[in-house]
């Protein structure tokens, strides 16, 4: 084992999932929301197929991966073994990888630039299919982070929906690590509301309860379910 390897052998995934679900129920209840409105996206990036099976065996069917290559090596077999899996891409998508995501990912949460929207529309025209799309909003306007700036969001969303006729279902954000996430969640909801977009993907292991209070329909939780990653791929 290298220095960067973390053993997850002792992680009780079923128990972790039970804790997370209890917290989802409580956070939703406290906000007067139905917990069934909140979909838990189990973020399985960096964890091998055997580890991920722990969540599948516990009945979970919605998963998130952030690298196309890694997901392509792991998920076709798992999808064949477990019916009803819905796989979300939560990391950046290169336009030359679009062909690889069709049929593998059911949802792309990271539509983050005009060039990608154009390429997805071309691919849809060619193949007649396109995964459901969420637009990633760079709510913190961080230079190094992917996503559409809040000031450009309205035009971009309109363009994707009305001109390109892409299946945009919602918005997604990753708040800056060192800021109060609630402000970012509230901003995402405000933009989504303006466009009648029902899906708001926001909240991770450290802040999913706040996200639920503020209206998250999808929370993306990795560490709290699967344990620590051997290397951190979160951006
Ligand atoms: C890794 C990742 C997550 C999960 O993060 P945890 O802190 O492990 O829950 C959520 N969203 C994105 C985009 C990620 O890359």
177-231 pLDDT tens trace: 999 999 999 999 999 999 999 999 999 999 999 999 999 999 999 999 999 997 6
Phi and psi for 136 in degrees, rounded to 5?
-85, 125
Report residues whose beta carbon is within 6 angstroms of any ligand 1 atom: 43, 45, 66, 90-91, 174, 204-206, 220-224, 234
Residues near 208 by beta carbon (within 8 Å), at least 6 away in sequence: 20, 23, 24, 27, 216, 219, 221, 224
Domain ranges of the chain: 8-229
Q: Which of the four CATH numbers 3.10.28.10, 3.20.20.10, 3.40.50.720, 3.30.360.10 does domain 8-229 have?
A: 3.20.20.10
Q: Is the pLDDT of residue 1 over 50?
A: no
Cα–Cα distances in angstroms (integers) from residue 199 to residues 3, 31, 148, 170, 233, in the given order: 39, 17, 17, 4, 24
Strand partners, 126: none
Per-residue pLDDT at 9: 72
Which atom of ligand 1 is nearest the CA belonging to 172? 13
Choice from 20, 52, 90 to test ligand 1 binding pocket (greatest atom count within 8 A of CB): 90
Residues near 126 by beta carbon (within 8 Å), at least 6 away in sequence: none
Model pTM above 0.75: yes
Residue nearest atom 7 in ligand 1 by C-alpha distance: 205
Helices 181-194 & 150-158 angle (0-180, nearest 10): 30
Q: For 90-131, how does the pLDDT look when each residue is reduced to its tens digit (9 = 90+)?
A: 999 999 999 999 999 999 999 999 999 999 999 999 999 999
Whole-number Å distance between alpha carbons of 229 and 208: 18
């Amino acid at each position: 084992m290298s220095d960067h390897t973390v053993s997850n052998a002792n992680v009780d995934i079923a128990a972790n999932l039970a804790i997370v679900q209890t917290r989802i129920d409580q956070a939703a209840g406290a906000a007067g929301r139905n917990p069934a409105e909140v979909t838990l996206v189990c973020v399985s990036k960096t964890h091998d197929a055997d580890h991920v099976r722990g969540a599948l065996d516990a009945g979970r069917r919605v998963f998130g991966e952030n690298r196309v290559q890694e997901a392509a090596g792991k998920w076709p077999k798992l999808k064949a073994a477990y019916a009803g899996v819905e796989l979300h891409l939560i990391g950046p998508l290169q336009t030359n990888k679009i062909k690889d995501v069709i049929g593998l990912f059911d949802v792309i949460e990271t539509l983050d630039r005009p060039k990608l929207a154009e390429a997805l529309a071309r691919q849809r025209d060619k193949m007649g299919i396109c995964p459901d799309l969420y637009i990633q909003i760079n709510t913190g306007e961080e230079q190094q982070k992917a996503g559409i700036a809040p000031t450009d969001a309205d035009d971009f969303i309109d363009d994707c929906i009305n001109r390109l006729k892409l299946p945009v279902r919602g918005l997604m954000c990753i708040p800056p690590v060192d800021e109060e996430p609630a402000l970012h969640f509230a901003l995402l909801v405000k933009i989504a509301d303006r466009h009648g977009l029902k899906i708001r993907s926001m909240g991770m292991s450290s802040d999913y309860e706040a996200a639920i209070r503020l209206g998250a329909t999808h929370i993306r939780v990795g560490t709290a379910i699967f344990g620590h990653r051997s290397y951190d791929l979160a951006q």
